[in-house]
């Protein structure tokens, strides 16, 4: 299970770009894809990743879950 711990706003390694890459990589192989997520970051203050603190981090983790569901 790839562990993707970055938010959507992280330009160096955006959550959606990395997660889509993994989905494309396993596509057609019969391999189930389970993404490890950074639940521990929800609500944790961070200067470099402020999206985890907006509304307690709920919008970020919800957006990530929605993307994961769309890739299955």
Can you read off the two tokens belonging to residue 1? 């299970």
Give the count of alpha carbons within 13 A of 46, CB side only: 18
The Cα 31–Cα 23 span in angstroms is 10
Q: What is the pTM of this model?
A: 0.89
Radius of gyration for the chain, computed over Cα atoms and rounded to the nearest angstrom: 12
Is 50 inside a domain boundary? Answer: yes
The Cα 4–Cα 9 span in angstroms is 13
Domain that holds residue 40: 15-70
Count up the domains in the chain and report the number: 1
Is 54 inside a domain boundary? Answer: yes
Q: What is the pLDDT along the chain (72 residues), one digit of tens a residue?
A: 999 999 999 989 999 999 999 999 999 999 999 999 999 999 998 888 999 999 999 999 999 999 999 997
Is 2 inside a domain boundary? Answer: no
């Amino acid at each position: 299970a790839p562990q993707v711990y970055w938010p959507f706003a992280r330009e160096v390694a955006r959550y959606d770009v990395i997660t889509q890459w993994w989905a494309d990589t396993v596509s057609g192989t019969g391999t189930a894809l389970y993404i490890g997520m950074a639940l521990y970051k929800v609500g944790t203050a961070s200067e470099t990743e402020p999206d985890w603190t907006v509304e307690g981090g709920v919008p970020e983790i919800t957006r990530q879950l929605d993307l994961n569901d769309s890739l299955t």
